[in-house]
Amino acid sequence: MGLISWFKEKFKMLFKTDAEKAFGVETYLSTEMDKAIKLWEQLESGKPPWLDSDPQHEVRTIRFSNTVARELSKLVTQNIDIKVQAKYGTGETAALIQKAIDDYFLKNAQEIVGDQIMLGGVMAKWNGKGMDYIPPDRFLVTEFDSNKEILAAIFFSYYQKEKKFYTRAEWHRFEDVVHRSDSEDGPAGPVRIYRVSNKAFVSDQQDQIGRETSLKNTKWADIVPEFTAENLQKPLFVYIKNPYSNTIDPDSPLGVSCFSECIEELRWLDIAMSTMGTETETSAPMMIVDQSAVQYANMNNIKLPKFISNTGLSITDDTKPVEQWQPQLQVTSRTEGINFLLSIIGYKTGFDPGYFVFNGQTISVATATQVESTERRTINTVGDYRDVLSCPDSNGDGRIGALHDIAYIINAMAIINGELPPSEYGNYEVFADFADLTRNAEEDKAFDYQLTQNKYMAKFRFLVRHLGMTEEEAKAMVKEAADEDKELNSEGNSLFGEE
């Protein structure tokens, strides 16, 4: 068993208790959620539990959950555009945050959202150089509020060196402490600080967490055991959570997988596909011959063709020493059953019925209006996931969401590390734009053409939008056509008149 497999298998079961003892804190992970997270990880890795329960290995998996997650994450992140602007000053802070978001979110946005969809949520946390997106098997929650917002958590990282196995536990939380004045006679008052504690463990065996050791004895020697910061409004991490109610453990702050309500349907789909595949593999025509003919061939070293089947039985009808067997594939009925399962899975994961079928959609979508009416469920689901990333706040005068929390973390860490002065705290605004799923290119083109004809839009802009030209190329083309019109003096038949 590899180190990663060992860690996923063992740490939630063993390290939960050790972490609680090491830090003297209670963690929140129920048996039900632990079991569910492991199941979702099995789905993602292509090793669902029903493969192990099939000793004959007749059932294989088509990993359809990964297909659905990939499709949904593609729709959520399609043409996503994130811009960071400064509120005042030179824009140094905005540029720093923009680069970090470009490098540590946009480049892998579809993969990040895909993991969120599969596993119920992922934790975004600064690692000293960029953002890590941590799956639920590598952190434990230690505090959350009444809105199920996670306020404190222990994060885990690990590596193997020679025959030693190293684990680091990193505990983030807020604490109320008494802050004393610089003056001996000055007043003392409570101050809310943010504290990060790091502890390292080493083990000689894979199946044991081992003993605590100094960070200096590990590759994390440059990490301080304790770190504190004041004036933080939010944790230096954010849990990017699926927009579903947790029906597995309603008291848990963790999210649930997109597939939490259709596990059985995924199993049935694998069975149906495996059955159809087995039928296809054994569908070649065969010739069944009498056992005596097979014995004769063996005695005389005669190699029988592949289509000859030796059943070991004798054919009783002497007039027919050879029987032909032609299996009948149940393609139509199998496909109907598979499409039925695909439709159920699609609906339960937020897609419109018929989105996933083998013979394509039966509805011909021609206009944006039709898309809105025929794929409303899909569009709403995508919108829900996008709202997790960025949406208007309750006052309507700002935006909230994971992207804004990530920007906050980047800004705060840059100030803490001395890359930015404290005066740059909050000197940024984040704007996120997503592709319009109801947009129809032909409708947009026709509408813009009417604007051009009525002189509400410049001709060069139409060419830029719909023919992929640069602004310079489009302006040159319009000028060339206008000059030619003037030269030919064909004002009545002019296609490109003067602007």
pLDDT digits (tens, 9 = 90+) for 251-262: 999 999 999 999
Is residue 363 located within the same domain as residue 396?
yes
Would you say residue 357 lies in a domain?
A: yes
Is residue 252 located within the same domain as residue 195?
yes
The domain tally of the chain equals: 3
Is residue 318 located within the same domain as residue 372?
no
Would you say residue 499 lies in a domain?
A: no
Is residue 150 located within the same domain as residue 54?
yes
Read off the pLDDT band of 326 (50, 70, 90).
low
* Average pLDDT of the segment spanning 397-415: 93
Place of tokens 């994130």: 82
Would you tell me how many other CB atoms lie within 10 Å of the CB of residue 266?
A: 22
Would you say residue 496 lies in a domain?
A: no
Is residue 452 located within the same domain as residue 400?
no
Would you say residue 497 lies in a domain?
A: no
Would you say residue 347 lies in a domain?
A: yes
Would you say residue 493 lies in a domain?
A: no
**What type of residue is 215?**
L
Would you say residue 137 lies in a domain?
A: yes
Is residue 22 located within the same domain as residue 71?
yes
Read off the pLDDT band of 330 (50, 70, 90).
confident
pLDDT digits (tens, 9 = 90+) for 189-242: 678 999 999 999 998 887 677 889 999 999 999 999 999 999 999 999 999 999
pLDDT digits (tens, 9 = 90+) for 137-181: 999 999 999 999 999 999 998 899 988 999 899 999 999 887 655
Would you say residue 498 lies in a domain?
A: no
Is residue 299 located within the same domain as residue 245?
no
Residue 427 pLDDT > 90, yes or no? Answer: yes
Is residue 153 located within the same domain as residue 245?
yes
Count how many Cα atoms sit within 13 Å of the Cα of residue 229 in the half-sphere of its side chain: 19
Is residue 476 located within the same domain as residue 384?
no
Q: Do 87 and 428 contact (CB within 8 A), yes or no?
A: yes
Domain span holding position 465: 443-488
Is residue 322 located within the same domain as residue 334?
no
Is residue 307 located within the same domain as residue 220?
no
Is residue 84 located within the same domain as residue 228?
yes
What does the alpha-carbon distance between residue 187 and residue 270 come to, in Å, rounded to a whole number?
Answer: 69
- Largest pairwise CA distance in the chain: 117
Beta-bridge mates of residue 211: 202
Beta-bridge mates of residue 323: 288
